[in-house]
Amino acid sequence: MIHAFAYNVPYIAVVALILIGLYAVLFRRNLIKIVIGIVLIESGVNLFLITLGYRTGSIAPIYTSNPGLTNPMALPVPQALTLTSIVIGVAVLALMLSLIIHIYRHYGTLDSRKLGGDEE
């Protein structure tokens, strides 16, 4: 049991990031804090994608330091998919922040319990 939980520290970090981000989304009222929670969840998922592609004792997949493939190399496909995921996270963050600016101009407050109360 100790062997299992001492050498899998990246997976424990992924779970901690996702749970902290989920706590910020569910239990906070300010809209900016909810957006920060969503960004934390996305960071946790990106870290999980990268740690799936590691071989023990391998180096980065660049051929310059490894002529003739003498050392084992890390897998390149999960790194390529993580690149796409990071760009998607940036696009979603830009759209969320522009909508928050628009909401603040219309309502005058950033408290999520006071929005949308036109029918009581």
115 touches other proteins (CB under 8 A): no
74-113: contacts with other proteins (CB under 8 A): 75-77, 79-81, 83-84, 87-88, 90-92, 94-95, 97-99, 101-102, 105, 113
Class of residue 40 by CB neighbours under 10 A (exposed 0-12, middle 13-18, buried 19+): buried
Among 25, 81, 88, smallest CA distance to 48 is for 81
Other CB atoms closer than 10 Å to residue 50's CB: what's the count?
16
5 touches other proteins (CB under 8 A): yes
Residue type, position 17, single letter: L
Whether 60 and 50 have beta carbons less than 8 Å apart is answered as no
**Residues at the contact surface with other proteins, assessed by CB under 8 A:** 1, 4-5, 7-12, 15, 18-19, 22-23, 26-27, 51-56, 60-65, 67-69, 73, 75-77, 79-81, 83-84, 87-88, 90-92, 94-95, 97-99, 101-102, 105, 113
